[in-house]
């Protein structure tokens, strides 16, 4: 019944070793978002896709990249993870240009060794 | 000035009481407002959305919006221990979040 699915739920990587987090959706929503949430902080928007149009937030580090090969899937790539990148990464989807709420996945908790 | 500000908390209320959570926002053109509940280690879960001035009720939850004063609030009636969580106020399509208010309902 899950509509926004993030894999894996927990990811451990080494300092500087590239890592990819994935998100898939069954809602057929046009818009997909990636947020970073650190402990006791609010989620922070990294970037979003409107269909294939990529929109990067101004303060998102260059170390973070994203791919959306089709409507259903979106990936977050961290090219050289640092200790400060340890966080929960949340994927969310939204329908078109509406003001409807976003639907969140369960998140991936990333740890850096 | 932060775009979305919430009363910082933590907030503790006894079981059965009313919990009141407040949020102010800076963008006067904001159109959509959301309250999310987030349990520790879990993703945010939508509990209320509101788009027009006034009150919107859903079960034990009431959202109140006042665009002239640029605030939105959430009232939780008959608070239960299961309501203990962090409540996030979010504004607009791309969800600018407040920092959250941690609510504890004491049995």
Q: What letter does residue A101 receive in the DSSP assignment?
A: P
Starting at the earlier edge strand, list the strands of the sheet with A73-78: A4-7, A19-25, A73-78, A64-67
The alpha carbon of residue A62 is apart from the nearest alpha carbon of chain B, in Å, by 20
Across A51-70, average pLDDT: 93
**Terminal Cα distance for chain A, rounded:** 34
pLDDT of residue A101 exceeding 90: no
Note the pLDDT tens digit of each residue in B17-60. 999 999 999 989 889 999 999 999 899 999 999 999 999 999 99
| pLDDT of A5 over the 90 cut | yes
Assign B17 to helix, strand or coil.
coil
Residue in B95, B93, B25 with CA at minimum distance from that of residue A100: B93
Please check whether residue B13 is in contact with residue B21, taking contact to mean a CB–CB distance below 8 angstroms: no
Q: Nearest by CB to B32, which of A35, A48, A99?
A: A99
**Tens digits of per-residue pLDDT, A33-59?**
999 999 888 899 999 999 999 999 989
Cβ contact, residue pair B95, A109, below 8 Å: no
- Say whether pLDDT at A68 is over 90: yes
Q: Which of residues 54-83 of A touch B (CB under 8 A)?
A: none
Instruction: Say if the Cβ atoms of B43 and A99 lie within 8 Å.
Output: no
| Average pLDDT over every residue of A62-91 | 96
Instruction: Answer yes or no: is pLDDT of B64 > 70.
Output: yes
Separation in Å, CA of A4 to nearest CA in chain B: 11
Q: Which residue of A has its CA nearest to B89?
A: A42
Average pLDDT over residues A9-34: 95
With a cut of 70, say whether residue A2 has pLDDT above it.
no
Tell me which residue in A44, A88, A101 faces B49 most closely, judged by beta carbons: A101
Chain A residues with CB-CB distance to B97 below 8 A? 42-44
Percent of chain B with pLDDT over 90: 81
Interface test with B, best of A101, A104, A106 (most B CBs within 10 A): A101
Instruction: Specify the length of chain A in residues.
Output: 113
DSSP B40-91: TTS--EEEEEE-SSEEEEETTEEEEEETTTTEEEEEESS--GGG-EEEEEEE
Residues of B in contact with A54 (CB under 8 A): none
Whether cis (ω within 30° of 0) applies to the bond prior to A106 is no
CB B48 within 8 A of CB B35: yes
pLDDT digits 0-9 by tens, B70-99: 999 999 999 999 999 999 999 987 788 898
CB A89, CB A106: distance < 8 Å: no
- In the predicted model, is pLDDT for residue A97 greater than 70? no
pLDDT of residue A98 exceeding 90 = no
Whether residues A107 and B49 touch (CB distance < 8 A) is answered with no
The answer to whether the Cβ–Cβ distance between A42 and B99 falls below 8 Å is yes
DSSP A40: T
**Average pLDDT across chain A, whole number:** 93
In this prediction, residue A1 has a pLDDT band, given cuts at 50, 70 and 90, of: low
- Is B1's pLDDT higher than 70? no
Mean pLDDT in residue range A87-92? 97
B41 touches chain A (CB under 8 A): yes
Residue from A95, A72, A74, A94 nearest A25 by CA? A72
């Amino acid at each position: 019944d899950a509509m926004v699915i993030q894999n894996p739920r927990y990811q451990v990587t080494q300092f500087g070793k590239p890592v990819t987090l994935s998100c898939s959706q069954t809602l057929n929503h046009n818009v997909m978002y990636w947020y970073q949430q650190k402990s006791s902080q609010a989620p922070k928007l990294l970037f979003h896709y409107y269909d294939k149009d990529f929109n990067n937030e101004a303060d998102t580090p260059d170390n973070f990249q994203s791919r959306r090969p089709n409507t259903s899937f979106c990936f977050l790539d961290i090219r050289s993870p640092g200790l400060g990148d340890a966080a929960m990464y949340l994927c969310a989807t939204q329908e078109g240009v509406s003001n409807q709420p976003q639907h969140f996945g369960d998140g991936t908790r990333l740890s850096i060794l | 000035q932060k775009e979305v500000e919430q009363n910082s908390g933590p907030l503790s209320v006894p079981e059965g009481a009313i919990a009141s959570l407040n949020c102010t926002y800076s963008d006067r053109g904001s159109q959509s407002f959301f309250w999310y509940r987030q349990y520790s280690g879990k993703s945010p879960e939508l509990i209320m959305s509101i788009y027009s001035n006034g009150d919107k009720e859903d079960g034990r939850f009431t959202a109140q919006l006042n665009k002239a004063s640029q605030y939105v609030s959430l009232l939780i009636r008959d608070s239960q221990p299961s309501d203990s969580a962090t409540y996030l106020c979010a504004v607009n399509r791309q969800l600018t979040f407040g920092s959250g208010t941690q609510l504890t309902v004491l049995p």
